[in-house]
Amino acid sequence: MAGKNTKYVCQECGYVSVKWMGRCPECGNWQSFVEEFEIKTAKSKSYSMDDEKSGSPMRLSEINMEREERIKTGIGELDRVLGSGIVRGSVVLVGGSPGIGKSTLLLQIAGTENLLKGNNILYVSGEESFRQIKMRAQRIGVSEEANLKILSENNIEVIKAQVKKEKPDILIIDSIQTVYNPEITSAPGSVSQVRECSGDLIRLSKSRGISTFLVGHITKSGNIAGPKVLEHMVDTVLYFEGERHDSYKILRAVKNRFGSTDEIGIFEMTGDGLKGVDNPSNLFMTDRKNDISGSAVFCGVEGTRPILVEMQALVSYSSFNMPRRMAVGVDYNRMIMLMAVLEKNIGLQVQSQDAYLNVVGGIQINEPASDLAIAIAIASSFRNTPVPADMSIFGEIGLGGEVRGVTHGEMRIAEAARLGFKRCLVPKSNIPKKKMRGGISCIGVDSLKDAFEAIFG
């Protein structure tokens, strides 16, 4: 019954209104409002990661650092993304499309070193039955002796009671959208349910020092379903990305209170679970044809790790008035800008051309250091002239056509050398002082014109 405490909540963004609306003024979605009843949550409980008296200020010197204990999950790629392991008492939200491997990844934690270290794990699944989970555990080789308990449950009260009883060190909730609080009338997965249940779980983990993983479903637009505030409430937000049909997936931190957000973890889905990929450059460089035009190899850095990726461009005469432009894996606007620079600076008549740009392997490249490789790939396709097969490229391009230095120059060059490249086209300021191993020679350029001369003569 509609009463005083009825509200309408947008299920996409969590916007609250007193009356129903067809379109959300916040996020612009249609038909996204659902009626929800407010429940009176008794007193807003505060929580703290410390048992030390909270509510009173402390000096830095008084704060005990030993508590910042990290648990290594034993899955190298996951530990790296988290910032060398899980922090005790932290809450990690893992989002990703269905079938990407979230449940597999989290179940795998149980199958690793934790067994030896005596960390108890409680895996709560609201989506799968005990038998389904056991089948998966067998498939990925989780030992039956592992310190792992499984609970198939949706009710938050039951989950909380079990957590208090079992006292796990690591709690996994798969997924937060299936957990519900019976006192709230709206359906599981609705904004109120997600907010209340995750609030409860976060309080519980913080006060008991449990490291919690929440699995989150994502919406059509690719964000974690539920209120935006959920992302603010947790310590770390990880996204698991990748094309459904590609066997490898990328784990990326978009928020991390305990580590860097530049790191990515690369996994390959195999017949027996997810395997970390130690040598990502090899992965992105296999199947590369040497003599096709429109391909350039970029020396990238993701976090602390160099990765070589191939940029492919296809530029061809357009039969439309408005030529088509498409960028997969790099920022569309960046590509448009680079085409304008090519036109103005080099005189490449690309305005009447359709242009498609693709980063091989489905990885997303956000570094400006990729500018030079993108520009060269586009020019190579336009001129129908291949880039020399033994050459790799990096550098940022300014609007005036100048090539600017980037960070981690030597690391990029070293990775190219390791993979057998003989030449590297780099910004002048990135030419290494010392001789690089592997007999790679660096060609320093400070303008796009120089770069063109070096490659196309």
**Which residues are at the interface with Mg ion (CB under 5 A)?**
103
The three-state secondary structure class of 390 is coil
Work out whether 300 is an interface residue with ligand TYD (CB under 6 A). Answer: no
Min dist. Cβ of residue 86 to ligand TYD (A): 19
Min dist. Cβ of residue 100 to ligand TYD (A): 4
The conformation of residue 154, written as its DSSP 8-state character, comes to -
Residues 6+ apart with CB under 8 A from 425: 372, 376, 391, 392, 393, 394, 395, 442, 443, 445, 451, 454, 455
Work out whether 98 is an interface residue with ligand TYD (CB under 6 A). Answer: yes
Which of 87, 224, 269, 414: binder of ligand TYD (CB under 6 A)?
269
Computed from CA positions of residues 385, 388, 392, 395, in that sequence, does the dihedral angle turn out positive or negative? negative
Read off the tokens for 72: 């290594």
Can you spell out the DSSP letters for 423-455? EEEEEGGGS-SSPPGGG-EEEEESBHHHHHHHH
Q: For residue 175, say if its preceding peptide bond is cis, omega within 30 degrees of 0.
A: yes
Residue 343 touches which of ligand TYD, Mg ion, none (CB < 5 to 8 A by kind)?
none
Work out whether 80 is an interface residue with ligand TYD (CB under 6 A). Answer: no
Min dist. Cβ of residue 7 to ligand TYD (A): 31
Work out whether 271 is an interface residue with ligand TYD (CB under 6 A). Answer: yes
Residue 134's CB is within 10 A of a number of other CB atoms, namely 14
- Contact range with ligand TYD by CB under 6 A, out of 99-107, 147-155, 341-349, 402-410: 99-107
Work out whether 109 is an interface residue with ligand TYD (CB under 6 A). Answer: no
Which of 13, 82, 92, 100: binder of ligand TYD (CB under 6 A)?
100
Residue 273 touches which of ligand TYD, Mg ion, none (CB < 5 to 8 A by kind)?
ligand TYD
Residue 100 touches which of ligand TYD, Mg ion, none (CB < 5 to 8 A by kind)?
ligand TYD
Work out whether 140 is an interface residue with ligand TYD (CB under 6 A). Answer: yes
Q: Torsion-angle region of residue 252: left (phi > 0), alpha (psi -120 to 50) or beta?
A: beta
Cα separation values, 72 from 107, 136, 236, 298, 319, Å: 15, 22, 16, 32, 56
Min dist. Cβ of residue 271 to ligand TYD (A): 6
The conformation of residue 182, written as its DSSP 8-state character, comes to T
Which of 11, 36, 95, 102: binder of ligand TYD (CB under 6 A)?
102
Binding footprint of ligand TYD on the chain (CB under 6 A): 96, 98-104, 136, 139-140, 269, 271-273
